[in-house]
Amino acid sequence: MSTYIGQFITYAIFAAGIGLFSIWPEYRMLDDNEAVVSVTFSHSSKRIGACRELTQAELNELAPNMRKPNSCPRERHPTYLELRADGQVIFSDTLLPSGLWEDGKANVYHRSRLKAGTYEIFIGMNDSGTSEGFDFEETIGMTLAPGQNLVVGFDDQNNMFILK
């Protein structure tokens, strides 16, 4: 009898442990009055140098199927990105182009927590390697609700930021 009681207790403890730790304790990532601003996009920055028109002599040296009028450097500039809320920088990063030749797109994915409330959100991007200023920027007044996920992207076709 004691054997069965022992087994019953073992199974009960095992089941309780499994049931309990499959849902408890709760893991909290945000406070009740917090929202998230997520910046995520891929972008091709400008090339590090201007394209040059090839001379006829240079073109003649190339195979017929390789004759393009312009020669452009493959490498691209690092992209500087800055996100501000009410003038305070909440995220900034210099994104390197992907690829071995640094000729691919730069990628960004970042999540920032903010207190819920009304903000003037600024997002600026410098992709031309100039020392000052931004090539693209957007400022928008916005009220972030608790638990809201504001996604900041970049539309490469229209060269503008998108905030959803």
Instruction: List contacts with another protein (CB under 8 A).
Output: 3, 6-7, 9-12, 14-15, 17-19, 21-32, 34-36, 38, 40-42, 98-99, 104-105, 107-109, 111, 147-149, 151, 153, 164
Shortest distance in whole angstroms from residue 103 CB to another protein? 11
Which residue, 24 or 87, has its beta carbon nearer to another protein?
24
Residue identified by tokens 């499959």 is 22
H or E stretch covering 14: helix 2-21
Kind of pairing between the strands at 160-163 and 88-95: unpaired
Q: Which is nearer to another protein, 54 or 104 (CB)?
A: 104
Nearer to another protein, 19 or 49 (CB): 19
DSSP string, 93-122: EEEPPPTTTT-S-EEEEEEEEEESEEEEEE
